[in-house]
Structure 1
Amino acid sequence: MNAVALGFDRTLLELKMYSREKEAVFFSFLFPILMLALFSVIFGDEMEAGGSQMSAAEYFLPGMISAGILLTSFQTMAMSVAAERDDGTLKRLRSTPMPPVSYFLGKVGLVVTTALAQQVLLLAVARFAFGVELPDTADRWFTFAWVFGLGAFAGTVLGTAYSSLATARTIGAVVVAPMLILQFISGVYFAFTDIPSWLQHIASIFPLKWIAQGMRSAFFPDQLASMEMAGAWEHGRTALVLGGWAVAGLVLCVLTFKWFKRGTT
């Protein structure tokens, strides 16, 4: 219980520090919301998907939700953990009586809080600013919930493991470049069927494609499932892939996490 209480305190501290990092707040929290607003203003009601007319906000919303999940989990964790390792924060924390689990609970609390706040704001903007009809059945909200949960957990553990690949000075480029590429090939900014098939197969290896497909199944009409690679929403495969990445990320965290900067003890 003491570790949990300390984890809650650590969460509050993490949120306070996160709110002071204007670049992190913009690129991981506000970026999907601003992109949705930008696409909605530029394209208006001119989008067509599977023979159906829809507004740009309706079309791009699942993709922006998906990108937001990985930005607030994977990108936030990778960059913050790398920075704390290099500036000695992790080394100092390791020498305190605080249980290591409390540190990780604080990071999980940061991701959960920011990701949920981002999704609420994103959905509110879509609904009240651009008139997007949100899911009206419990099963669609359930799909949204489990895809969100699995995606956020996978992004959190993978981001923590990924932080070991670079220093605080280089982690930005190491994280942002792959994230941008994945967004372009995973159906976030373009219809997935418009992407060359060889890029579709590459995207299918990574979580973002499956988060985006899961979110489309929650927000798009069922007839648009024909636009997916397999012609179906594939909820079972989506859960399997995201769950597999979550387990793999957790194992990588255990094997690769370091409290100290390279070359120090």
Structure 2
Amino acid sequence: MIETLRLGAARGLIDFRHTLTNALDLWGYFFPSFGLLITLFFMGDAHVPGTTFSLGASTLPSSIGMLVAFGGLITMAQYLIVDREDGTLLRAKATPHGMNGYLIGKVVAVGGMTLLSVLIVLVPGTFLVDGLRIDAGGLLTLLWLLPLAVVATLPLGAAIGSLFDNSRAFGLVMLPLFGIVAISGIFYPLGAMPGWLQAIGQSFPIYWLGLGMRSVFLPDAYASVELGGSWRHLETFGVLGLWAVLGLTLAPVLLRRMARRESGSAVAARRERIMSSMAR
């Protein structure tokens, strides 16, 4: 197990360094961060409806929660799909502890790039909005929130990625995810939405990650505009914990099934389909 962790971490650091030298990969990671900064800029002096609280100050921590969620859900799934197409997963399967090392490596690489994406939003964002703060209580919240966010999203991303063998089909997942973001209180307070949308939004981890991050970076007075009038740390821990259990239950089963189906002929067939579609 220790050897698997060591090899997986080493592989993840190699992938991380490779990503930092690939302009296309960097653009894919950082484009959402730049988009969020532009959104914060145009929010200007807007306020949360019915309050004097800055809408930008509320949106910035929420966006950080969204970036963490997307890093686990979308990026992890995309990696699996692409590596399945080009045969990387097949090669990993053929080596001792290859699949476990592969997954550990992706956790390290995706986690590192997600952290950079967060810093790209957080550092300049603090100059664009007023009202952010972090104290000892916020730091303690961050210490349990970030690991729980990783466990609640990365296995789910792996499970989603294992369901697709074609990167083009992944677009079918993106639209629902953006819809979930729209009703998760990231850019507009969930309390201002109809009750049935509030119920749907609270059933997904993105809302709770946004709420948790707001509790880290905003004064306690901001909690008055949240549902229930508090930061609801216990509920945040509980919901994210349930999603973590679901992901950790589904991901190993789906990944083992996917690995069993991987073969040289399957990879060749996928390449043939890609070449045929490009030739049309």
Normalised by the length of structure 1, the TM-score is 0.88
Q: Aligned AA for 1:123?
A: L
Matched, 1:187 2:195: no
Aligned to 1:95: 94
Partners of 1:132 and 1:228 in 2: CA distance? 19
Structural mapping, 1:1-265, within 5 Å: 1-19=2-20, 24-31=25-32, 33-48=33-48, 51-54=51-54, 56-127=55-126, 129-130=127-128, 132-257=130-255, 258-259=258-259, 260-261=261-262, 264=266
Larger Rg over CA atoms: 2
Distance 1:16 1:136, change over 3 A: closer
Q: Which runs of 5+ in 2 are unaligned?
A: 268-280
Change (3 A) 1:48 1:253: closer
1:46-69 CA-partner distances (Å, limit 9, x unpaired) = 223552242x53131022101110
Question: 2:227 is paired with a residue of what secondary structure?
Answer: coil
User: Which amino acid letter does the alignment assign opposite residue 231 of structure 1?
Assistant: G
Structure 1 residue identity aligned to 2:9: F
Letter in 2 for 1:180: F
User: 2 CA distance for matches of 1:49 and 1:70?
Assistant: 26
Q: CA RMSD in A?
A: 2.4
Distance in 1 of aligned mates of 2:224 and 2:76: 35
Q: Distance in 2 between matches of 1:197 and 1:30?
A: 33
SS at match of 2:212: helix
State the one-letter code of the partner of 1:102: G
Q: Is the contact between residue 148 and residue 240 of structure 2 (CA under 8 Å) also seen in structure 1?
A: yes
Question: 2:63 is matched by which residue type in structure 1?
Answer: M
Partner SS for 1:47: coil
Scaled by the length of structure 2, the TM-score of the pair is 0.84
Query: In the alignment, is the contact (CA less than 8 A) between 1:210 and 1:238 conserved in 2?
Result: yes
Contact 1:30 1:118 (C-alpha < 8 Å) held by counterparts: no
Q: What percent identity do the matched residue pairs reach?
A: 29
The whole-number CA distance in structure 1 between the counterparts of 2:11 and 2:251 is: 20
Structure 1 contact 29–114 (Cα < 8 Å) conserved:
no
Deviation sequence 1:180-219 (CA, Å, 0-9, x none): 1111000111111122211111111110011111112222
Matched position secondary structure for 1:180: helix
Q: Please say if residues 151 and 211 of structure 1, whose CA atoms lie closer than 8 Å, have aligned partners that are also in contact.
A: yes
- Aligned-residue offset at 1:245: 0.6
Give, as a single letter, the amino acid of the residue that structure 2 aligns with 1:69. V
| Higher helix content, 1 or 2 | 2
Could you tell me how far apart the structure 1 residues matched to 2:22 and 2:192 are?
37
CA offsets, 1:60-105, max 9 Å, x none? Answer: 1022101110121111111110121222211121112354321111
Q: Compare 37-46 and 234-243 and name the one that shifted more.
A: 37-46
